[in-house]
Amino acid sequence: MALSIEPLFSDPVNGDFYKKAFLFLTEPERMVSFHVPWEDDNGEQHVNRGWRVEFSSALGPYKGGLRFHPTVNDGILKFLGFEQIFKNALTGLPLGGGKGGSDFDPKGRSDGEIRRFCESFMTQLNRYIGASTDIPAGDIGVGGREIGYMYGQYKRLTNLHGEGVLTGKSPLFGGIKLRPEATGFGAVYMAQHAIEDKLKSTLQGSHCAVSGSGNVAQYASRMLINLGAKVVSVSDSNGCLVFRDGMTNDDWDQLIEAKQVKRTRLSSLSCGEYIPSHSPWTVDDLSIDYAFPCATQNEIDSDGASLLMSKGCKGVFEGANLPVTAQGQEVLRENQKVLYIPGKAANAGGVGVSGLEMSQNAGKTYWAKEKVDVMLKDMMAGVYKQMKDGAGEDGSLEEGCNRAGFLKVAHALKELGWVY
């Protein structure tokens, strides 16, 4: 991000202001931390830590997901919240940036344990959020089930029942249709724009490697299959499931059953070729035309990026947030031809449709799935245009999206009188 912004600091008219605005934005407006006591199925009490980073409200209420994963700490949430500011700016919606979560590990926990944890988490968090203040959503370890339990507790605590205070809710009580699909579908729509515009080609028949097997990976895979691409991999933190001729519809159904219903590991699936202790970025003999990292941060290091380049990979589209390490990014930048689209643009469809869920809730109505898909497609086209315009004649798409997001927030800071 900083590398893309730095040239703006030499602007003869606004350079000093941009520098001040950037420094202003590096400090979260507010950060809360709280304990989350909960009881397991054996009656034993545990205490985890919860956080909410309210990073910037320049463009609107704080907006960003909640992550439940044992690696969560305040540093990780700060980098995610910082990125979220500029991603949300690119959606074109009036959304500020935030992020939150807990170091709670949901893996292997029963439904009752998850519910008790979510209720305790919301008992603390509800003091800080509100439909016009801060609107959390899901992220790693937080899907529709967890959002449901947290919203249930919010309703009990506040007696507010139609609020767009959480997004990613079930359509039974205000959730927008297509939200589960939005991040993965949006990342593929973004890839389509870039491939058609820059390479005059399509995804049809191409070998696409997807990492992760959670929400983003599942629906990126679905849309890639719909568009005739060959999905050659998915993964989890234990290993990689490879489909050398592309995942079939039956394989995809098995994946969904395993991950959404049974909540089991990829190693238990009977389809594909399971390679333990590998990710798609470490399997030497896997053909990859396009990479869709959709698992977590820092999953593609310089070796992974070099392997992709040696295979002739033509595009990296980040479904996850910051999946490529700084060293991996350098490798991609050295290869001028590769299309590299950072998460703040490629995965903006998720928060974009969450923003639409807030509008839907404010209007006390429901929108058809087809209507939401059209809006998502328009939004991704808009993000691509901003990124291309931001890049100008000589810049990369990476520089373009970082600059476009930053400039929008910087100008808001000026007009609000917060930086002068």
Catalytic residue IDs: 99
Q: Is residue 221 within the footprint of ligand NDP (CB under 6 A)?
A: no
What Rg, from alpha-carbon coordinates, does the chain have? 21
In angstroms, give the least distance from the CB of 105 to ligand NDP.
9
Question: What are the b/e assignments for 87-115, b being 16+ CB within 10 Å?
Answer: bbbbbbbebbbbbbbbbbebeebeeebbb
CB atoms < 10 A from the CB of 127, how many?
11
CB atoms < 10 A from the CB of 61, how many?
21
Comparison of 98 and 212: residue with beta carbon closer to ligand NDP: 212
Residue closest to ligand NDP (Cβ): 214
Number of residues located near ligand NDP, criterion CB under 6 A: 23
Q: Is residue 88 within the footprint of ligand NDP (CB under 6 A)?
A: no
Across 69-206, the runs of DSSP E, i.e. the strands, are: 97-102, 134-137
Task: Name the segment binding ligand NDP (CB under 6 A); options: 43-51, 214-222, 240-248, 328-336.
Answer: 214-222
Q: Is residue 194 within the footprint of ligand NDP (CB under 6 A)?
A: no
Q: Is residue 390 within the footprint of ligand NDP (CB under 6 A)?
A: no
Q: Is residue 350 within the footprint of ligand NDP (CB under 6 A)?
A: yes
User: Computed from CA positions of residues 341, 345, 349, 351, in that sequence, does the dihedral angle turn out positive or negative?
Assistant: positive
In angstroms, give the least distance from the CB of 211 to ligand NDP.
7
Q: Is residue 213 within the footprint of ligand NDP (CB under 6 A)?
A: yes
Q: Which residue has the tokens 């926990």?
A: 109
Comparison of 21 and 397: residue with beta carbon closer to ligand NDP: 397
Decide if 32 contacts 57 (C-beta within 8 A). Answer: no
Q: List the x/- string, 319-338, binding to ligand NDP by CB under 6 A.
A: xxx-----------------
Decide if 156 contacts 71 (C-beta within 8 A). Answer: no
Q: Which of 258, 281, 303 is nearest to 211 (CA)?
A: 281
Q: List the x/- string, 300-319, binding to ligand NDP by CB under 6 A.
A: -------------------x
Residues that bind ligand NDP (CB under 6 A): 138-141, 143, 183, 212-217, 236-238, 294-296, 319-321, 347, 350
